[in-house]
Amino acid sequence: MLRIASENTVLKMSPNNKPVLSVDSGSTVVFETLDCFSNHIQNEEQLFSSVGWDLINPATGPLFVKGAEPGDILKVEIVDIKVADQGVMTTAPNMGVLGQIVSGETTKIVPIKDGLAIFNKKIQIPINPMIGVIGTAPQSEEIPTGTPGTHGGNMDCKRIVQGATLYLPVNVPGGLLAVGDMHAVMGDGEIVVCGIEISGEVTLKVTTVKGKSLPLPMLVEGDSVITIASEQTLDDAAKMATIQMHSFLCDQLKLDVDEAGMLLSVLGDLKICQVVDPLMTARMEIPRWVLEKYQYEMI
């Protein structure tokens, strides 16, 4: 199977990144990923400050998809996620929601055994591996891999898991897809700026979709269809995710503007992805059966 090794990483989503692999639409590729600390923290004596921001959130890639042109959609199916046998968590002053409460730096090594994260002697958490950073290159600017946006990036959405399908914009020829920042498990909010950070392998099937329009980024996972938005404030992110879903209902399902709003008010679930990155990220979820009632199928 086609594979991109973990030494091929970028720290910016950029149209200037040189692709490390070129594939046909419909190909399946394995991305070997480092954790968000570039695998530099291996024991609890090593602290976040020992890594340096220039090594945070490496993304493996980028991948060039032949025939993908600006205006197309890149359909990314998450076929499989495998994680390493231990993850890392850190805290540090002035970082995250509790940054004014945390008094010092700490590191926790979290073993992964038999599908469980061994948080401490009393708490073992079933893992739910997810991708924190996944995105395409912006059209002209360079965006750090730690920042989310309309291109995807560091969305830290815990619904980006095995079996999900993510739709991303193609802004430059080939799309230039890059992936990283996996978590063995993470709660909505990611309040201390980390989940259980972990390295591993992600298997993705990438397909170019032409002549279609969706509010991007967009995600289908389990029984839900999800719009994702990142803005300066959480309020603005929540509003944008809602507006994007409303637009989808009106444009694709042909609902009346008012009826679409009412439907979202009774069936839509507005949730937080993360509140700790340079932009805040929220998502709006609706049940997938709504699309089925209108005989609409996702591309």
Q: What is the CATH number of the domain that holds 200?
A: 2.60.120.580
pLDDT tens digits along 95-130: 999 999 998 999 999 999 999 999 999 999 999 999
> What is the residue range of 6's domain?
2-41+48-83+129-209
Do 22 and 143 reside in the same domain of the chain?
A: yes
Per-residue pLDDT tens over the stretch 247-280: 999 999 999 999 999 999 999 999 999 999 999 9
Is the per-residue pLDDT at 52 higher than 90?
no
Tell me the average pLDDT across 136-156: 98
pLDDT of res. 54: 87
Closest CA to 157 of 178, 128, 137: 128
Same domain assignment for residues 27 and 146: yes
Question: To 10 degrees, the CA torsion angle through 258, 260, 262, 263?
Answer: 160
- Indicate if the pLDDT at residue 15 is higher than 90: yes
Residues 144 and 273 in one domain: no
Q: What is residue 236's three-state secondary structure?
A: helix
* Number of structural domains found in the chain: 2
* Closest alpha carbon to 237 in 283, 193, 188: 283
Tokens of 86: 């231990």
Q: What is the mean pLDDT of residues 203-232?
A: 98
Which residue, 154, 189, 209, sits at the end of a domain? 209
pLDDT at 173: 98
173: alpha, beta or left? (left if phi > 0; alpha if psi -120 to 50): beta
Mean pLDDT across 3-19: 98
Length of the chain: 299
Strand partners, 3: 30
Of 187, 209, 231, at which residue does a domain stop? 209
User: What 3-state class would DSSP assign to 117?
Assistant: strand
What per-residue confidence (pLDDT) applies to 124? 98
User: pLDDT of 159-189, one tens digit each?
Assistant: 999 999 999 999 999 999 999 999 999 999 9
Q: Is residue 105 part of a domain?
A: no
Which band of pLDDT confidence, cut at 50, 70 and 90, is reported for residue 149?
A: very high
Mean pLDDT of 282-292: 98
